[in-house]
Amino acid sequence: MLNRLFRKKISERTVAKLYGAIVEQARQPVFFRDLGVPDTLEGRFETISLHAWLVMRRLAMGGPAVADFNQALFDFMFADLDFNLRELGASDMKVGERVKELASHYYGRVQAYDTGLAGTDGATLEAALDRNLYGSTLPEPEHVAAMAAYARRQLAHLEAFPVERLLAGDVTFIS
């Protein structure tokens, strides 16, 4: 209990800065224009989910010391989704249900992408990206392969990225 009393308070501004960097990367036109991700609300949710997973996976490597920050980032992400659904005109009665559904989808993506990384042939991650990132579209196989390679490059980059910088709200992605 004393540990909680003395734990450093997490700055919402820092979490917002990190989340903003995730969203900025997820909205890069290359994903939609060149790699065939559907430029729809669902496609944008999927690209944000992919990038959030990349960063949250790195934060999880920091262990219990950064677990609260990781949770704050997750909470901020879904508060932002809630806000955006309301801005788009979703009825107040439906927003809560929709956000819960999106959170469930996100957890499913995390499991699928983690399982995909564990696969040794590369096809498992590609299948997870095809099912989730591309949804009901029929993407070109080379687009899916390029997204899987991109995710692996980002993960390798983030594994070496200082967790202290993430905790300061700073992240860089590589091209």
Q: State pLDDT tens for residues 24-66.
A: 999 999 999 999 999 998 999 999 999 999 999 999 999 998 9
CA torsion 103→104→105→111, rounded to 10°? 110
Least reliable range by pLDDT among 2-11, 13-22, 75-84: 2-11
pLDDT more than 70, % of the chain: 89
Q: Calculate the average pLDDT of the chain.
A: 89
- Answer whether 127's CB lies under 8 Å from 147's CB: no
Compute the distance between CA of residue 95 and CA of residue 1 in angstroms, rounded to an integer.
Answer: 35
Contacts of 115 (CB under 8 A, 6+ apart): 124, 128
For residue 86, CA distances in Å to 112, 118, 168 come to 29, 37, 29
Q: How far is CA 164 from the centre of its chain?
A: 19
For residue 97, CA distances in Å to 50, 70, 111, 126, 139 come to 22, 23, 21, 30, 29
Which residue bears the tokens 């010391």?
65
If we measure between CA atoms, which residue out of 167, 162, 161 comes closest to residue 9?
167
pTM above 0.75, yes or no: yes
